[in-house]
Homo-oligomer: A and B are copies of this chain.
Amino acid sequence: MLSKEENERITHVGPGTPMGEALRRYWLPALLADELPEPDCPPVRVRMLGEDLVAFRDTEGRVGLLAAHCPHRGASLFFGRNEECGLRCVYHGWKFDVAGRCLDMPNEPPESSFKDRVRQTAYPCVEAGEMIWTYMGPPAQQPPVVDLEWMRAPRGHLNVSKTYEQCNYLQALEGGVDTAHSAYLHRFFGGARANRTTERFRVNAGAPKLEVHTTDYGFSYAGLRTLPDDGGQYVRVYQFIMPAHQMRAYEGYCGRPMIQGHVWVPIDDEQTWVYNWAYVADGSALLPEEIEKEMTETGRAAADMLDGRFYPARNRANDYQLDRQAQRTLTYTGIQGVNTQDMAIQESMGAIFDRTREHLGTSDVAVIAMRHLLLDATHAVEAGREPLGVHGSADRVRPAETVLPAGAAWPEAMQADLLARW
């Protein structure tokens, strides 16, 4: 349970809010790299942490992320012309480069120095892991760019996507560090998924025991499930990387273990972008069949989306196309798509869930730990200190899952499994 004050502190993300300021101290995905497919392509709207921005790729291929409203009289630069290394406002022709410098101001006399005194808000961007990352915090505190194993996978080895979710980011993130729900929310009564070994482990084991180990980047936590017939202990270790990034191991769709994860980026207090990524754990390239199965099973295939990409066709307005007959016979929820199930239940908590009304149990210890780290980060930033993880060692870890003898200590037994391989 959080107090009303804590709940507001942890969920509000706009400029000047405690969590908004803390989130601005990390590099976060702003869009997928292929949303800006080539130099001088059309600019793209980005809304992030409650700010309206416009992203563009200039003639040299550099990515700019500017405040949306022209500093002159506020016209949106989304309508701008992307041309000759700058984005030009169509109202009066003011032109800005990726750093926010005004390159041209044709409605002012040529001798005017006005354009040197105008600077548009611009956030630095880098491309990595097929995404464009940005840093929206104070320039003096700009940390090194995030660099994780999945981001270092060669092109073609990675499957990335992005999904719209209509609620506060924290509800989504809480679902992400909550291994217990998979046995219920995602249960299938038959079919390929139900027959995977680790799915059976999770569904049959009953309540998992959770262990959280705090690190310099967030925490690792393990869901420990005792297998029947002295079969030992099924251990699934997740990585939580500050401020809103989850990594987990998965048995895979074609018999090859995979590593998957999400980054949850607040659009504003009541909307979230979910960035999804996956790769094969041994470093080999993904097969088309693996990508297709992942997208279909999670509910993120083109056919699942209103726009073919980002906006789920099964959404709040249609109760996620809940099928009560399917709920009786095929899946626990009657909702298609594993990530659509997550989204449905997270959105059902309301735009911003009131955590004064919750009742947390032993299976929620990772959720609790994650909230503590986030709240600590807000206090650190308010006190002028650096929040956790900004210089952490997340680049050296990965998640893993395995079966250990009953009673074995997972951190020691899985030490090698939990190290990044490249």
Contacts and interface: CB of A to CB of B under 8 A. Distances in A.
B180 A79 contact: no
Contacts of A359: 71-72, 114, 118
Interface stretch (A105-113, A135-143, A374-382): A105-113
B357 A184 contact: no
A112 B209 CA distance: 13
Interface stretch (A88-96, A213-221, A235-243, A272-280): A88-96
B90 A350 contact: no
Interface stretch (A193-201, A341-349, A391-399): A341-349
B348 A78 contact: yes
A5 interface: no
Residue from A90, A207, A341 with most neighbouring chain B CB atoms (10 Å): A90
Contact of A76 (B107, B206, B348): B348
Interface in A40-79: 42, 69, 71-76, 78-79
Contact of A72 (B79, B106, B354, B358): B358
A184 B75 contact: no
A73 B108 contact: no
Contact of A92 (B75, B81, B181): B181
A332 B90 contact: yes
Interface in A111-151: 112, 114, 118
A249 B83 CA distance: 33
Contacts of A106: 183-184, 206-207
Contacts of A69: 349-350, 357
A6 B71 CA distance: 19
Contacts of A363: 92, 107-108
Interface in A300-334: 322, 324, 327, 332-333
Contacts of A353: 73-74
Contacts of A362: 108-109, 112, 114
Contacts of A354: 74
Contact of A185 (B42, B91, B341): B91
A406 interface: no
Interface string A382-394: 0000000000000
A206 B78 contact: no
Nearest to A67: B357
Contacts of A345: 75-76, 79, 90-91
Contacts of A335: 79
A20 B76 CA distance: 28
Given A79-B345, A90-B345, A357 B107 contact: no
B73 A364 contact: yes
Interface of A: 42, 69, 71-76, 78-79, 81, 90-93, 105-110, 112, 114, 118, 174, 180-181, 183-185, 206-209, 322, 324, 327, 332-333, 335, 341, 344-345, 348-350, 353-355, 357-364, 367
14 contacts: A69-B357, A73-B349, A73-B358, A74-B357, A76-B348, A78-B348, A90-B185, A91-B184, A92-B181, A92-B184, A92-B185, A108-B361, A108-B362, A109-B207
Given A75-B348, A90-B185, A91-B185, 10 more contacts: A69-B357, A71-B358, A72-B359, A73-B353, A81-B332, A93-B183, A107-B180, A107-B207, A107-B363, A118-B359
Which 10 pairs of residues, A with B, have the shortest CB-CB distance? A76-B348, A74-B349, A93-B184, A107-B363, A107-B180, A42-B324, A74-B353, A75-B345, A71-B359, A90-B333
